[in-house]
Structure 1
Amino acid sequence: MSIAFTRALGVSLPLIAAPMAGGAGTPALVIAAARAGGLGLLAAGYKTPQALAAEIATVAAASVPFGVNLFAPNPVPVDPAAYRRYAGLLAVEAERHGVTLPPTPVEDDDHWHDKLDVLRADPVPLISFTFGIPGRADLAALRATGALLVQTVTGVDEAKAAAEAGLDALAVQAPAAGGHSGTLTPTRPVADTTLPDLVAAIRHAVDLPLIAAGGVANAADAAAAVRAGAAAVAVGTVLLRCDEAGTSAVHRAALADPARSGTVVTHAFTGRPARALRNDFTDRYGELAPYGYPAVHHLTAGLRRAAAATGDAERVHLWAGTGFREATAEPAAAILTRLATLL
């Protein structure tokens, strides 16, 4: 299945540069991954439809295989009173950086239907979904473009639901992954399991090609995921410091800072669980923040942007998986080639 899957993708290496929304993922990184023999995914999350269309055009002009990742609607409505309490707590942080916080919750769907229109107008080889499983009508519309459709799952039950919905392949995300968890039930803890064990369990439960992701930091990790049954491996954190990534300067520095003691899963930044380097913000607000996505994301977004611009690493979402120590500052091709040595 691994060989058939990589052939279907038009790649020579079963390696994927994971989509990284918020700026770290760039067209240059997607193109570099493809030219190294793998596949890169553009992150559509948080972008306008127009910006997504422009990035698709840039990568398509390079004549390389690639895909696009979408945030599928699966909102977690915030309690208005909890939102106001949290906004009140963050007021001092916002004042420090001269930011005005949204007074009321902003609930949106990340331009879902407009982005579907972009992908129907400009078809891409692969489309993946995170946060939710799209409805059958939307899946049918995207399948009609000829794209391979991939669903992010974090457990066996989610994998079965995706298979029943008719997805073509699954991105199996272990809890060691950096950034947002793709869990379909964000207010419930994700089971603590290793990537090989999770891949093996889902491999036993469904008969679909699997892309393994979460905590892959070196060639041994990648090989273990493939031995467990993955057709391909996706990596994100180890690419955050690569030359082609759009990772902010403050984030790059934090990843290389030996004083950073580790990662933590927090919903303090966005209202959905995500793994990040520990900092003052996660320590102070991790137990105080309400669940609520995208409202909490919009509440803190301006503060995080302002903090990043001033180099304030203690108030920035420093997304990172457990293998962040192995993120290196070099071309993406060198990193991916090294990861593939045991495949």
Structure 2
Amino acid sequence: MSALQSLFNIQFPLIQAPMAGVQGWELAAAVSGAGALGSIPCAMLTPDAVRDAVTHFRARADRPVNLNFFCHQPPEPDPEGQQCWLEQFLPWYAELGLEVPSAPAGPGRLPFNKVIADLVTELAPEVVSFHFGLPEPSLLEQVRSSGASIISSATTVEEACWLAQNGVDAIIAQGLEAGGHRGMFLSEEISTQVGTFALLPQIKAAVKVPVIAAGGIADAAGVQAALALGADGVQVGTAYLLCSEANTSAVHRAALQSPGASQTVLTNLFSGRPARGIVNRMIRELGPFNPSAPSFPLATAASAPLRAQAEHLGSGDFSPLWAGQNVTGCLSIPAAELTLALVSDLKPSVSSS
């Protein structure tokens, strides 16, 4: 039994990555029911929606659950900057016959706060994970007092050491291959980001808590390779995007199954923070990184109406098609079946209850 399996009371050292916008409690319940750790992304949910998701999860799966939250610093309002950003999209608004928004929208993702900390106390999840660092000490201590194990993502050795010094129970080593948002929080310098199998052994050597490998792991061989390199467990996200329990949109599913899925890049266009997704028209024409993009998460508003209209027309031209560098494991099968395939070379160690 690995330290991670004991810590989370799970049969297999596998975590389903929380993926906001493309999944809910259904995917998490299916994965937990199969003996791994299912995750519910909560950063875009209201407190009532989080409560509802956990209630449904508990009714479906009598297993541990991970609730995931963001810890970004809310940006200062910058109406002028957001208006300048919006103006870069005007030709596309005209092309699609859309009315240009009169005012920039507010943030669609809120950082962890006291209201959510109180909700964690109420719901008592077995695991709470954070992205972009950790919340302030008093909130972190409240989460710890709830009985939850605490994990967070590190994209560098320095971030891993910082997390360990601040009392996390395990660290996710997020390699450059991973899809979705980079968890980086000590630096915004992209050159600090390295691949999973370069990052993992360095973090293992630097900290004493369990380390979870993430990024580019899409099949049983990848799971075995990560464990052989010293990982206490693995986190898998992209491979679950085609599962029947995922809420992945039709255009996103089509993109994942297209030849273009082999070309992914880090981009700040969709949210203001670096995130890995499949190259589409918006990325090609604006370039992956644009210095005028508002701070996370304010960049999202400018393209949101374009995304909605394009998806209505069957196009992902303006959609964040998040995906890691390895989409070969994406299968249109039930999540429980995929979970068991990922751990097919492992033996269950405990029976969670």
Does the alignment reach a TM-score above 0.5?
yes
Partners of 1:186 and 1:272 lie apart in 2 by 12
User: Paired residue for 2:351?
Assistant: none
Partners of 1:31 and 1:284 lie apart in 2 by 39
Deviates more, 1:320-329 or 1:76-85: 76-85
Deviates more, 1:212-221 or 1:256-265: 256-265
Partners of 2:100 and 2:153 lie apart in 1 by 34
- Shift of the 259–205 alpha-carbon distance from structure 1 to 2, 3 Å rule, reads closer
User: Paired residue for 1:322?
Assistant: 325
- Shift of the 190–80 alpha-carbon distance from structure 1 to 2, 3 Å rule, reads farther
CA deviation map 1:284-310 (0-9, x unaligned): 123435251111123333432333333
Conserved in 1, the CA contact under 8 Å of 2:179 and 2:325?
A: yes
Partners of 2:216 and 2:50 lie apart in 1 by 28
User: Paired residue for 1:335?
Assistant: 338
In percent, how many aligned pairs have the same letter?
32
Partners of 2:284 and 2:68 lie apart in 1 by 30
User: Paired residue for 1:130?
Assistant: 131
SS in 2 for 1:264: strand
1:294 aligns with 2:297: yes
Partners of 1:112 and 1:94 lie apart in 2 by 34
Partners of 2:229 and 2:102 lie apart in 1 by 46
Give structure 2 stretches of 5+ with no counterpart.
347-353
- Shift of the 183–240 alpha-carbon distance from structure 1 to 2, 3 Å rule, reads same
- Shift of the 68–151 alpha-carbon distance from structure 1 to 2, 3 Å rule, reads same
User: Paired residue for 1:284?
Assistant: 285
Conserved in 1, the CA contact under 8 Å of 2:82 and 2:294?
A: no
User: Paired residue for 1:89?
Assistant: 88
CA deviation map 1:125-167 (0-9, x unaligned): 0000001321110110011110001111111110111111111
Give structure 1 stretches of 5+ with no counterpart.
none
Conserved in 1, the CA contact under 8 Å of 2:15 and 2:234?
A: yes
RMSD of aligned alpha carbons = 2.1
The one-letter code matched in structure 2 to 1:124 is P
Deviates more, 1:281-290 or 1:313-322: 281-290
User: Paired residue for 2:24?
Assistant: 26
Partners of 1:205 and 1:57 lie apart in 2 by 38
Q: TM-score, normalised by structure 1?
A: 0.92
Partners of 1:99 and 1:215 lie apart in 2 by 40
Partners of 1:323 and 1:246 lie apart in 2 by 20
- Shift of the 109–251 alpha-carbon distance from structure 1 to 2, 3 Å rule, reads closer
User: Paired residue for 2:349?
Assistant: none
Give the drift of 1:109: 6.2
Give the number of equivalent residue pairs: 341
The one-letter code matched in structure 2 to 1:142 is V
Aligned counterparts, 1:155-166, within 5 A: 155-166=156-167
The one-letter code matched in structure 1 to 2:5 is T
Conserved in 2, the CA contact under 8 Å of 1:78 and 1:291?
A: no
SS in 2 for 1:47: coil
Conserved in 1, the CA contact under 8 Å of 2:159 and 2:186?
A: no
- Shift of the 108–132 alpha-carbon distance from structure 1 to 2, 3 Å rule, reads farther
Deviates more, 1:196-205 or 1:91-100: 91-100
The one-letter code matched in structure 2 to 1:21 is A
The one-letter code matched in structure 1 to 2:126 is P
The one-letter code matched in structure 2 to 1:12 is Q
Q: TM-score, normalised by structure 2?
A: 0.90
Aligned counterparts, 1:6-85, within 5 A: 6-22=5-21, 24-62=22-60, 63-75=62-74, 81-85=80-84
CA deviation map 1:30-86 (0-9, x unaligned): 111012111101000211111111001111223221110001133455865543222
SS in 2 for 1:41: strand
Give the drift of 1:259: 4.3
Partners of 1:253 and 1:134 lie apart in 2 by 37
SS in 2 for 1:220: helix
